[in-house]
A and B are shown apart, each in its own frame.
Chain A
Amino acid sequence: MSEPLLSVRGIHTYYGDSYVLQGVSLELQEGRIVAILGRNGMGKTTLIRSVAGLTPPREGEVLFKGRSLRGLPPYAIAQLGMANVPQGRRIFGSLTVRENLLLPTSALAGGRPAQAREGRKRWDLDAVLQEFPQLAERIAHSGGALSGGEQQMLAVGRALMANPDLILMDEPSEGLAPRLVQQVEAIMKSLRAHGHAILLVEQNFALAVSVADSIHVLSSGRFVFQGTPAELARDSEILDHHLGVAGSQTA
């Protein structure tokens, strides 16, 4: 196996005083999707925040493209080729759709290779609007005026504008109608086809199983399962105790 794109090595992360991640490790290869499943409050978001440098781990290490992220501020980590689609979308409401999309191309976000890796699609405003025609229609609207589904597309589009190697996605299906969840699923498959790796955090079992190459189940700050979606579907013990889906695939 080649060197992983992202390698999380035994991280322990605290959120304020609470000890959230208690020794978590995972690897993510280029162009793959790894999903983290778990109930609320198990540390999923903290894991994403640890990787992005927003809540750096106290112990352990995160390597991205073989480089340790220890001590790097979030903007420097992002400039290495990591983008995030955060929980709740966090669209900039004072900015238009166009301004939201162009933000990662600002000179202040400089130092980033404008070119995508070889063989991968290069994203710019036109390419993103072609991928998400709904955004093109609302290009001059304020980000705050969009519907939940449109905001999700905008959050993904904003991440793509940075031409990242890795996209962190925190519960992209949250608060979306089933039809839109299907759309999110299609978007993720398309991103993978375009060569982007995704670290996905989800509560939606069906979505995670459908898109991920491998799945980790997080419970009380530790992984209690790692394997393929097919293996997880067979593991009724994990499904019952840690996901509460009782073997059914209709989370």
Chain B
Amino acid sequence: MPGGGALPPGTSFPQHLALTMMTGAILQAINGVSLAALLFLLASGFTLTFGLMRVVNMAHGAYYLLGGYVGLSTVRATGSFALAIAAGGAAIVLLGYLVDRFLIRRTGENHLAQVLLTVGVAFVIGDIALKIWGGDSLKVHVPELLRGPMELPGGLVYPAYRFVLIFFSIVVGVLLWVLYRKTQIGAVVRAGVDDREQVSATGINVDRLFVIVSALASFLAGMSGVVGGAFLMLYPGAEWEILVYALVVVIVGGLGSLEGAMIGALIVGLLDAYGRWLLPEFSYFVLFAPMALLLLVRPRGLFGKDI
């Protein structure tokens, strides 16, 4: 996918090697950051719902995949990428609400039941998606304007879409941060993460708050499927791959922390990119070993609170 740089003629071998490594390192940094951008979009909603509701929703990956497929069909039908993002997000808001209201709510505070139930939901979603969109790898079509190759200083060539994704994710991240840290509804959510019972004793309908936050998380998941499906492809099983990454992000960053999701996504994105490049056989190890070490030292993750 990423193109290589053209070397000036007459470079010696060590110089050549150094240049290749440099170019590679830069390309992998961009790869890592663009994966981080996608993971942040997906994990931010997951971490907020977990922090507030203490609900472990393993269907989050399936929400991503289904949102992506809905977006794909929307692009095919209308040709509009923006509309696809909105449709993918909206479809998951509706689905997420139904799953919360009629299934997850029955599990109460039982996390094991939640995990089993939502894994089941994910399988059902996956099967339905397989029936509708088939088993091939599909790519959400990105408009020409956002797609073409981009030339970077130093002769590197890189798909422009990745930079669009990074920019988009930063914008969403800033909006979420402002919403969470600077508005009254954000304060209510943070209070709910601190002490749910006291929030309800203050006269706030925590259930209604859950519905709002859960809708936001669902939208983010469906939307990430659309923007992610434009470079990682959509296929049966993609939901579990992305879920693993999102879980690592959330665990490393600390459950319930938006800042943690940002930093966690960057760490996971970069570890993954460099791991695949330098130690391709051990790329999962490169991802999970640091996580295990971190959890030994800091079981709540980088920004998490005791739960």
By a beta-carbon cutoff of 8 Å, the part of chain A in contact with chain B is 52, 54, 73-76, 78-79, 83-84, 86, 90, 92-95, 99-100, 102-104, 106-109, 112, 158, 162
Contacts and interface: CB of A to CB of B under 8 A. Distances in A.
B198 A90 contact: yes
Nearest to B187: A99
A75 B187 CA distance: 17
B37 interface: no
A19 to B, nearest CB: 22
5 contacts: A75-B204, A86-B198, A92-B195, A108-B205, A108-B208
Among B185, B194, B201, find the residue whose CB has the most chain A CB atoms closer than 10 A: B201
10 nearest A-B pairs in the assembled complex, by CB-CB distance: A78-B203, A109-B203, A99-B187, A92-B191, A94-B190, A74-B200, A90-B198, A92-B194, A75-B200, A109-B204
Contacts of A112: 203
Contacts of B184: 99, 102, 106-107
A92 B187 CA distance: 10
Contact of A92 (B190, B206, B209): B190
A56 to B, nearest CB: 13
A78 B202 contact: yes
Interface in B182-237: 184-185, 187-188, 190-191, 193-195, 197-206, 208-209
Contact of B187 (A52, A84, A95, A158): A95
Contacts of B205: 73, 75-76, 108-109
Given A102-B187, A106-B184, A108-B188, A54 B195 contact: no
B203 A73 contact: no
A95 B183 CA distance: 11
Contacts of A103: 187-188, 191, 199, 202, 204
A106 B201 contact: no
A102 B208 CA distance: 18
B191 A95 contact: yes
Nearest to B209: A108
A83 B201 CA distance: 7
Given A74-B200, A74-B201, A94 B193 contact: yes
A16 to B, nearest CB: 14
A108 B203 CA distance: 8
Nearest to B212: A108
Given A75-B201, A94-B191, 5 more contacts: A104-B203, A104-B204, A108-B185, A108-B188, A108-B208
B4 to A, nearest CB: 47
Contacts of A104: 202-204
A92 B203 contact: no
A86 B224 CA distance: 41
Interface string B281-300: 00000000000000000000
A71 to B, nearest CB: 15
Contacts of A100: 191
Most buried by B among A73, A78, A90, A108: A108
A86 B204 CA distance: 16
Given A54-B197, A92-B198, A75 B190 contact: no
